[in-house]
Amino acid sequence: MKRCTYSFILISSLSFVSLHAWKSSETKGEQPIFLGTLTTQEGNTFNVTNITIGRSRSGHDKIVLYEKPQNLMPSEKGNVISVNPSVDLTTAILELQKIQKITIPESQVIWKWTKDDSKRSVKLAYEYIEILVTWRSGSTISYLLELGPENTRRPLKIFCDVIDKKMEGVKQEGVILCQNIQKIDLRKKGAPFTSIQSLALDEPCYRIPKENGDGMKAVE
């Protein structure tokens, strides 16, 4: 009887250690899965998961935010940014795990900065859009977000999968684990920022370990 008790204690201890080891490596080494609600300029709302922001679905771009100057106003030349954003403006990195909501207040207004020192016959212009970022720390700040060179075929977009129902994760040891979603229930979407009214982000979740006894799988 004592031998069985010792075995049970040993197995329980190993399971506890394994969970904490996974938790540590998962939250530090694994990329979280971002989910939330996307609202279009037409007012249509979608439950979304697997959210990334970039010029392709892989979403490995480092996205820089430029704090919008208070004196930024349209001029006779149009919506022109007179300073070099990467040199003269305060910057921040767009990290989804630190963001609660992204709002596009004026999707039809595109700002342009022209690279004057370019040796090209036609000077290269870059397009920016204003976004309001509500950080999880509580502050809301207005930024300029670079969409890419003018007339680019690969502008910055929000990539995500649309799901019919809002996804709810399973909380375990302080970490939210992603519920299983079948691939057939995921509808891929790439939304230009000019088509979006807002993106509200829920708390991110992490993939369920393959050896998890409850049989649930990670989001595909």
Domain boundary assignment for the chain: 1-30, 33-201
pLDDT > 60? residue 28: no
Higher pLDDT, 51 or 218: 51
pLDDT > 90? residue 206: no
pLDDT > 50? residue 22: no
pLDDT > 50? residue 87: yes
pLDDT > 90? residue 107: yes
Q: Give φ, ψ of 4 to 5 degrees.
A: -65, -40
pLDDT at residue 173, as a whole number = 63
CB 148 within 8 A of CB 127: yes
pLDDT at residue 164, as a whole number = 81
Residue 6, helix vs strand vs coil: helix
CB 160 within 8 A of CB 50: yes
- pTM for this model (two decimals): 0.76
